[in-house]
Structures are given as structure tokens and as C-alpha cells.
Amino acid sequence: MYRDEIQKLCAEYGIVPSKSKGQNFLLDESYCDIMVQSAELTSDDVVIEVGPGFGVLTEKLLQTGARVIAVELEKKVIGYLEHRFKGSAHFKVIEGDILHMTNDTLHMTHANYKIVANVPYAITSPILKAFLTAEHTPSQMVVMVQKEVAERICAQPGKMSLLALSVQYYADVRIVAHVPRTAFWPVPEVDSAIIVIDVKTQDKENQRTEERIFQVARMAFAGKRKQLKNSLANGLHCTIAEAVALLESVGIDPSIRPQELGVGEWVRIAEEQEVRCKK
């Protein structure tokens, strides 16, 4: 859509774009094409779109033949979407906050589904966590997020963070496009990026190990400038010698810092720590 079209719709429906709600409307539709192509949608797919706005991305999703469930907070926008897509049997809009919805609410109890969305910046992390840890996870997420957040999510060992670990434990991630702030109206203060999150199949039997991984990682990243042996000794309430022994037993340098570890190393630490707790 052109800027004047969006401004006209905002005026017609009495909408004042809210910075706190992350209401920045995408002008350059080529980025919607990238998102749809990255999702590799077919008529067998079910897609959840969070914050559809005036339906620019929605229309392109529907053109693939996929069924689209849009989740929108703004009642005035919902009215527009219902009118615009009233002829589509594959479109449904649900009013509400995505963070307060369950799989049942979204009718995703048994369906294989994907997330394709321009995610409001303020709730990026909670949305990712909610879907990646849901009982029925999506098979894939293609989302537009703040560029800095995208780079943190896709970081490699040396620049890892708790956010990167929290996503990469559950999925393989990659950046497929950078989106300048000028592609939106109103123009946000930051640039964006499109990331693809291919969700891994999780073994439900590993829930205890999963919990321990993040418990140990939180302890370590609380002192990310410290050597890992010191962070773990503080967090696990053990001696530095015991922390060194734990790390060396799984082939990890005790003097390394948390941001230098990949997902596999955190799994090894958590599994070894669990074994030691049972002794």
C-alpha cells in the first residue's frame, strides 16, 4: 500500500498509530513477498498472522491457498479486515492479545501450522517464547522483528546471549532480509529484519533437562563477564574446583565466558550437572 492509502484508511477508521502497540504499517510490499516465499506455503498450510494491520501481508498469504488466522487487538482494524476479506473462506480474524491465547482458542490443538507475521517490537520475546514452548508448536515461524533483536537471536558462539539460547535450543534460525525503517509508516526509530525459525521436534521426556539448561544458563549469563567456572560456582553454590571439574568432564574450558558457548555445550553441562545431583 502507498502511504496516502494507509493514512486515508487510518483517518476513515479513526486510527492513530500507537508507538506503544508497535503500529507501524509496512509500505514496501516486496518484503511481504520475501516472507511468503520463505514460508514455502501450500494450500495444506494453516498460518497464524499476529497484528495483520490493514492486511497487506494477509492478502499475499491468502494467495498461496493457505488458511489464515489473523489475531488483532484493534477492533477498528478487525472491522476493516472482515470487510476486505469477506469473500475468502480461508480467512478468519480473532480479536484479542496473542499472549493470552491458547492453542485451543486458535483452533491449533492438532493442526500443523506456521507463524508468519510482522511482530510488534515490544512483545517479540514473549511471542517467540509462547510459541516455541507451546504444547503444540508451529513447524516454522517467519517473522519481521527489530534488526538488533534478529541479530541477537541468530548470534553464533562468541556473541551468544540468553535470548539466542532460548530460541536456538528449540529451532534453527537465520536472517533472510534486512528491512530499512523507511519501509514503514510511521517511520520507526530502528531498522528491521526478517528471520526464519525452523522449529525442531522436541522430546517431551527431556523436559527436566530443558529446565536445567536454562536454570544453569541464567546463572551463567547473570555474570557474563565472568569466567564460566566462577559464574557456575556462584550459581550452583559449589566450590570453583567443583565447577572446574564439572566443565572439564564435558570438555569445556573452565575459563571460557558464557557468550562463547553454543547450544550443544549448554546441553552437555546441564546433563552432567543432573548426573552429579543424583549421586
Of 195, 254, 189, the residue nearest 228 (C-alpha): 254
The structural domain count of the chain equals 2
Of 63, 85, 199, the residue nearest 142 (C-alpha): 199
- Both 72 and 184 in one domain: the answer is yes
pLDDT digits (tens, 9 = 90+) for 199-216: 998 776 677 788 999 999
Q: Provide the pLDDT for residue 202.
A: 78
- Both 209 and 104 in one domain: the answer is no
pLDDT cut 90: percent of the chain above it: 72
pLDDT digits (tens, 9 = 90+) for 59-90: 999 999 999 999 998 898 999 999 999 999 99
- Both 63 and 105 in one domain: the answer is yes
- Both 14 and 84 in one domain: the answer is yes
- Both 146 and 211 in one domain: the answer is no
Using a 10 angstrom Cβ sphere, with 0-12 exposed, 13-18 middle and 19 or more buried, the burial of residue 119 is: buried
Q: Provide the pLDDT for residue 22.
A: 73
- Both 22 and 132 in one domain: the answer is yes
And the C-alpha cell for 17?
A: 498509530
- Both 128 and 42 in one domain: the answer is yes
- Both 253 and 197 in one domain: the answer is no
What burial letters (b/e) apply to 30-46, b meaning 16+ CB within 10 Å? ebbebbbebbebeeebb
Cis peptide, bond prior to residue 186, ω within 30 of zero: yes
- Both 227 and 136 in one domain: the answer is no
| pLDDT band of 101, cuts 50, 70, 90 | confident
* 182 pLDDT higher than 90: yes
Other residues' Cβ atoms within 10 Å of the Cβ of residue 174: 13
Q: Provide the pLDDT for residue 2.
A: 78
Query: Which domain-ending residue is among 138, 173, 202?
Result: 202
- Both 61 and 182 in one domain: the answer is yes
Q: Provide the pLDDT for residue 35.
A: 99
Of 224, 209, 227, 218, the residue nearest 270 (C-alpha): 209
Q: Provide the pLDDT for residue 81.
A: 96
Domain that holds residue 257: 205-278
Which of 76-80, 120-124, 136-140, 144-148 has maximum average pLDDT? Answer: 144-148
- Both 227 and 194 in one domain: the answer is no
Query: Which domain-ending residue is among 173, 202, 231?
Result: 202
And the C-alpha cell for 143?
A: 517473522
- Both 221 and 113 in one domain: the answer is no
Q: Provide the pLDDT for residue 205.
A: 64
Query: Which domain-ending residue is among 179, 202, 225?
Result: 202
Q: Which CATH number characterizes residue 210's domain?
A: 1.10.8.100
pTM for the model stands at 0.92
Q: Which CATH number characterizes residue 22's domain?
A: 3.40.50.150
